[in-house]
Chain A
Amino acid sequence: MPRILFHLVLPAAISVCLVAVALPTSIHAQSDVAKVYKKNCVLCHAADGSGNSSSGKALGAKDLASSEVQKKTDEELAEVIAKGKVKMPAFSAKLKPEDITQLVAYIRAIPKK
């Protein structure tokens, strides 16, 4: 059994895992706004925008569906995303202006979900 484990099962398991690691970068085309949101915003604002992730609660991340956020103009929201505010980092170096515009629209749609 140990010989089978070392010669077959273990290398196979590691290979499968490594292929799984490689797949996302080779066959996915991550470009839609939901993926941009997931990659950049979920860490603090949570998948539903509530800010109820563990790190969001600790940092006081805003509920994106709240009136405090929704009453801001599109330009104000875009500026917060681009330049950051208080504990939120600036994303202007990473996200393109069109990504930020799409994110603003995504945030606008959160209360309706």
Chain B
Amino acid sequence: MKLTRPIACLMAAGAVTLILIASRDTRAVPSYSRQTGLPCATCHFAPPELTPFGRKFKLDGYVFRTKPEVTTEDKDKKTHDSALHLLEAFPLSVVFDTSFTSTSAPQPLAQNGNFQFPQDISLFLAGEWADHVGSFAQVTYTVQGNHFSWDNTDVRYANSHDLFGKPVAYGMTFNNNPTVEDLWNSTPAWGFPFTASNVTPSPLAKAVINGTLAQDVAGFGGYGMWNEHLYIGGTIYRSQHLTGAEPNPGTGFPFNIRGLAPYWRIAWQTVTKNNSLEVGTYGMHMKSSPNAITGPMNGYTDWAFDFQYDRTIPQFKNDVLSFRGTYIRENSSLGATFGTGGSSLIGHHLNTVQGNVEYHYGTKLSGTASLFDITGTTDPLLYAPASVLGSANGDPHTNGYILNVSWWPQQNVDLAVQYTGYRRFNGGQTNYDGAGRSAGGNNAVFLLARFVF
């Protein structure tokens, strides 16, 4: 175990050395880039952070292209034949992640200093499917599962018209993760951190809209952006459990949506040549039965606010400084959980605050600093003691910071160093789990090499 810290230090030093000898090549070729003929940096400050162009590309249904397609059109309307619009290049992309993670204190009876080769491999069906219809569809192989599994997916139809003399872009979305349809990087699905280890301990408490339902639901919704300023969207979700039986009996899954779970989103944005500002609100309401589709229910209502500001600095060769933040308030009524002895109270709340600032040194390098804080109702049954992952006092309070440096020697290659530090974890600084572990023991160094092609 004593060798793990030197290994982490050596790898961090190696990564920093590589950063100092950055190359100048800056072109990437995933499927959107192949379809549009544009470099990754047109849509991304650094993936997955969207530029105003990238947001519009997503808003318009991922269909903008400059490359040829197989097409037939009955221009003279002399037949009843359908038209055809097929990309000549199949819109497939690959992301290959390999990583190294080391925590300050090893997890009991487990190896510390974990190489994952690969950590995961994702395949993307990302591009235009037909006229007005496009997708971001991802399947991911993970080492732990040793199989591919459905990941974030957003298939959408988009069009545009005029409304009150101003353009309105509108569309419909099928997706499997609340907020994955969003355009900004201040909401959970596409928010910071953009990469993460999958072997470090995670805090017990998490709002349902904060990734809890990711890939565990199927949703259908609509959206519109009026005059490129006002964005309104809404999606209704039902449970769809991966690996679960169909029709869904609910057994073995903590969240089974009763009826429909609505998600809403309102945002206002303004863009000038060097500034892009967004402020908005989003939220979700869900009634759910744990491990069943009938019987007692838990209710959750999440209200959230977010902002994002991107400032391009012409004096610094168009480097970009970004500020993002979100606050999520969750009010929950855990009647079903209380009835089975899983919580000592029915009414709960959870507050999640996250903010970050990022400096983009061109498209080659970025540095991000983030603070996060989670507080909520103390409940010794809901947040029970357990080694590493539990809470000794039933308090979900967790806070800390994340520091990230990402180097993109090419626009499709990411070498990142990320440090996560906890000042408090699951309600305590020392012996937070009742088994003697301190919050600082979960501090983690994460090194990532990502290849996108």
A contact residues vs B (CB 8 Å cutoff): 2, 5, 10, 14, 17, 20-21, 24-26, 28-31, 38, 40, 42-44, 46-47, 53-55, 57-60, 84, 87, 89-91, 93-94
Contact = CB atoms under 8 A, between A and B. Distances in A.
Nearest to B269: A54
B346 interface: no
Interface string B51-86: 111011100100011111100011111000011010
A83 B228 CA distance: 28
B239 to A, nearest CB: 13
A60 to B, nearest CB: 7
B272 interface: yes
B132 interface: yes
A38 B51 CA distance: 21
Contacts of B74: 29
Given A43-B64, A94-B68, 5 more contacts: A14-B220, A29-B83, A31-B75, A43-B53, A54-B56
Contacts of B10: none
Contacts of A47: 167
A43 B273 contact: no
A94 B66 contact: yes
With most chain A CB atoms within 10 A of its CB, the pick from B82, B83, B276 is B83
Contacts of A30: 73
Contacts of B60: 43
Contacts of B172: 17, 21
Interface string B16-39: 000000000000000000001110
B36 A89 contact: yes
B131 A25 contact: yes
A24 B52 CA distance: 27
Nearest to B157: A21
A19 B131 CA distance: 14
B75 A24 contact: no
A21 B132 contact: yes
A90 B66 contact: yes
7 contacts: A5-B260, A17-B220, A21-B157, A54-B56, A55-B56, A60-B273, A94-B66
B42 to A, nearest CB: 7
Contacts of A29: 73-77, 83
A108 B53 CA distance: 25
B159 interface: yes
Given A24-B131, A91-B66, A94-B65, A57 B273 contact: yes
Interface string B318-347: 000000000000000000000000000000
A21 B57 CA distance: 18
A44 B36 CA distance: 13
A44 B432 CA distance: 53
B130 interface: yes
